[in-house]
Amino acid sequence: MPLRIVFMGTPDFAVPTLVEAIGQGHEVVAAYTRAPKPAGRGMAERRSPVHETAERFGIPVFTPRSLKDAAAQADFAALDADAAVVVAYGLILPQAVLDAPREGCFNLHASLLPRWRGAAPINRAIMAGDAETGVMVMRMEAGLDTGPVAMAERVRIGADETAGELHDRLSRLGADLMARALSALSRGALATAPQAETGVTYAAKIDKAETRIDWTRPAAAVHDHIRGLSPFPGAWCEMTLAGRSERVKVLRSTRAAGAGAPGDLLDDRLTVACGEGAVRLVELQRAGGKPMRAEDFLRGAAISEGAVLG
């Protein structure tokens, strides 16, 4: 039996789940998303990916700045939903909102809970060197990603996989997982189990202060840092190009053979020494430029073996 659903989400990651819910035949009566923000050179207001997708399907869109006031909570309750589906929404749901749908609120989270509760689970899993991660559907409660889990899927993280690539894989996998959870919910067959009490970690939002590459760390940690921040916000280092220091983003790397003082350029293929071992830089981006492969970068950058990266 189709469910009456309120969808709550904001970024690209949430769009496949919204589309899957619509395709599954559920009645999506409203979409809640973050309010448009000024963006681009003209600072025109830009609507979120969920906002644009919902409007294409003729779904009413709500963009409250907060759900804490009584009026916003009354508007939500008036939608008379069976369930709310929440995917990277960005606002805290007060207890009155959590209690409004008949069957509850269900969140799709991109980690193997209780590991990496919080805002940046995909980035943090890669930055920590995790070998696997996954997606989970949980019934929401007041705590931060603490609710009981209904369904889960595990995936291996590739040795050179970036956060952007893993994001796209988990977005698609999560949409399928939520579709299966909603199907079970509609049949009255969705069971949940409490999260483990051990192994809890928190995925804090990425701070710009932690994006600079620290070449004194072991090569494995440097490589994980680079790919865990790619493509956004991007790990970076300083290079001397054409006689002046520039900040350059490193979007892709791989482990490499070699040793030297941290930051030393070891060859003409952008192999850089770390505290232990070395990494080879595979894709870079100069300020104001486009991402480019290392060989293309080197054609336009006067940098040679023996240089030191900051």
Domains assigned to the chain: 4-202 (3.40.50.170), 208-299 (3.10.25.10)
pTM (two decimals): 0.95
Tens digits of pLDDT across the chain (310 residues): 899 999 999 999 999 999 999 999 999 999 999 999 876 666 678 999 999 999 999 999 999 999 999 999 999 999 999 999 999 999 999 999 999 999 999 999 999 999 999 999 999 999 999 999 999 999 999 999 999 999 999 999 999 999 999 999 999 999 999 999 999 999 999 999 999 999 999 999 999 999 999 999 999 999 999 999 999 999 999 998 877 889 999 999 999 999 999 999 999 899 999 999 999 999 999 999 999 999 999 887 777 666 788 7
Are 147 and 139 in contact by the 8 Å Cβ rule? The answer is yes
Q: Provide the pLDDT for residue 41.
A: 64
Question: CA torsion angle for 123, 137, 88, 17 (degrees, to 10)?
Answer: 110
Q: Provide the pLDDT for residue 44.
A: 74
Look up residue 253 and give its two tokens. Answer: 């790397």
Place of tokens 């680079």: 226
Q: Provide the pLDDT for residue 171.
A: 98
Candidates 129, 128, 125, 124; CA nearest to 159 is: 129
Question: 170 among the known binding-site residues?
Answer: no
Contacts of 142 (CB under 8 A, 6+ apart): 95, 98
What b/e sequence results for 262-289 when a residue is b if at least 16 CB atoms lie within 10 Å of its CB, and e otherwise?
A: bbbbbeeebbbbbeebbbbbbbbbbeee
β 117-118/202-203 pair status:
parallel
Q: For the chain, where are the alpha helices, taking DSSP H only?
A: 15-23, 49-56, 70-77, 95-99, 121-127, 163-186, 219-228, 294-299
Question: 112 among the known binding-site residues?
Answer: yes
Q: Exposed, middle or buried, 200 (CB in 10 Å: 0-12/13-18/19+)?
A: middle
The total of other beta-carbon atoms located within 10 Å of residue 43's CB is 9
What b/e sequence results for 109-130 when a residue is b if at least 16 CB atoms lie within 10 Å of its CB, and e otherwise?
A: bbbbbbbbbebbbbbbbbbbeb
Candidates 166, 175, 269; CA nearest to 224 is: 166
Q: How far apart are CA 24 and CA 102, in angstroms?
A: 20
Q: How far apart are CA 119 and CA 308, in angstroms?
A: 35
Are 153 and 134 in contact by the 8 Å Cβ rule? The answer is yes
β 105-109/83-87 pair status:
parallel
Q: 3-class SS at 256?
A: strand
Q: How far apart are CA 84 and CA 73, in angstroms?
A: 13
Encode pLDDT of 223-269 as tens digits.
Answer: 999 999 999 999 999 998 877 889 999 999 999 999 999 999 999 89
Are 1 and 180 in contact by the 8 Å Cβ rule? The answer is no
- Give Dmax (Cα) for the chain: 68
Candidates 249, 49, 230; CA nearest to 123 is: 230
Q: Provide the pLDDT for residue 301.
A: 77
Encode pLDDT of 74-111 as tens digits.
Answer: 999 999 999 999 999 999 999 999 999 999 999 999 99
Question: 113 among the known binding-site residues?
Answer: yes
